Each structure stands twice: as structure tokens, then as C-alpha cells.
Amino acid sequence: MTSTRGPRRRLSEDTRRGQIVQATVEVVAERGYGNASLAAIAEQAGVSKGLVSHYFTDRDTLMEHTARATLVELRTAIADGLDLSAPVPEIFRTAIHQVAHLRSTHAPQLDAIEQIVRNLRDPDGTPRLGVDAYEETYQGQEQLFRRGQREGSLRDFDTRVMAVTYQSAVDAMLGQLAGNPDADPDQYADSLTDVILAAIRA
């Protein structure tokens, strides 16, 4: 009997890396950071441990790459749902509501990031992922703040300070909602939006 199957398609390097990162997110979220070995991740991805090591030199490198890539994924998910032609205050209101619902739409990603950021450290104990991981996020927020200032909907303020403050408040909201599953995410988002807009509106 002659096989009708064609040659096995070779995945691109970016596709393979993405496959491994997705498996890392799933393993960390389901089994915990401490149990997310390269062997477990390889099994989840359906590849050999050697292939994982080919793309990522060690476990720490894989974990850092996964956290950074997942932050980009979450940031993109929020941005894709925004109407950037809307008034700036409304853009922030929509963004905060979308973040409030991330636990229902991107729970594994949130769990994985939280565990990696908390546990991944350099040999001297310094957290390996610092505020630099938020730099692109801060820059995007600053652009919106400056636009609102130019258009007259926002008052004058230091946009970097406000971006850091805004992100800290949003992260705290995620923590509160995670610890209080019965809380209404929309109600929390509305309250937080009112506080932020009261501070920045012209």
C-alpha cells in the first residue's frame, strides 16, 4: 500500500518558538512555576526537550521570553478592542473595562505572568523582570495622554508619572478581582475609571 500522506511540513522558527511559549504558559498556569520543567513543557508542546533547548538556552531564558511575549499578547488584545478615533477619556474607559475582563478571557496568560514575575530571579536574588517590561506599555499610554492634552480633554501633567500611576492602578484592579471572584468587574472598572478621569480631565 502506498501512503498518500505528503512530506511533513517544517514549521518556521517563529512558529515553533510560539508553540513552545504557548506550552510554557499552559504548564505554568496548570502545574505551577516550580513544576514547569523543560521536559514538561516539551511534552505539552509535542516536541522533544532537545528542540526546546535549541530555541531557548535554558529554563530561565524561556521563562523570561514567555513573560515578555505574553505581555505583548495581552497588550495587543486590549488594543485590538479600542476605537482610537474616540475621545481619549473614552479610550481609557474602554481599556480599563477590557482589562477588568482579562481574567475571563486570558486567565492562563495572567496566571503564567504572575508566577513568572514573582519567581524568576537572577543568581543574586534580584527579580529578572522589572519595570522595563512595561516600557512599551508606558510609551503607548503616554502617547494617548499627550494627545488628550493637545485636544484639550486632559489637563497638563507629567505623562510618565501618570502612565506609571495608571498601570499600577490597573494591575491592582486585576489583583483585587482575582482575590474576589464574586466582585463585579464592570462595577470595579467604572469606579476606577471615574477616579482616574477625575485626576486627568481638563
**DSSP three-state, residue 10:** coil
Query: What pLDDT is attached to residue 130?
Result: 84
168 belongs to a structural domain? yes
Number of domains in the chain: 1
**DSSP three-state, residue 201:** strand
Query: What pLDDT is attached to residue 9?
Result: 58
**Angle between helix 135-151 and helix 159-179 axes, rounded to 10 deg:** 120
What is the secondary structure of 103-131 as a DSSP string? HHHSHHHHHHHHHHHHH-B-TTS-BSS-G
Query: What pLDDT is attached to residue 1?
Result: 42
187 belongs to a structural domain? yes
| Mean pLDDT (10-residue bins), the chain, 202 residues | 48 86 98 96 95 94 96 94 96 97 94 95 90 92 98 98 97 94 95 97 95
193 belongs to a structural domain? yes
Contact 149, 156 (CB under 8 A): yes
74 belongs to a structural domain? yes
Q: What is the C-alpha to C-alpha distance for residues 116 and 133, in angstroms, rounded to an integer?
A: 12
Domain range for 188: 57-200
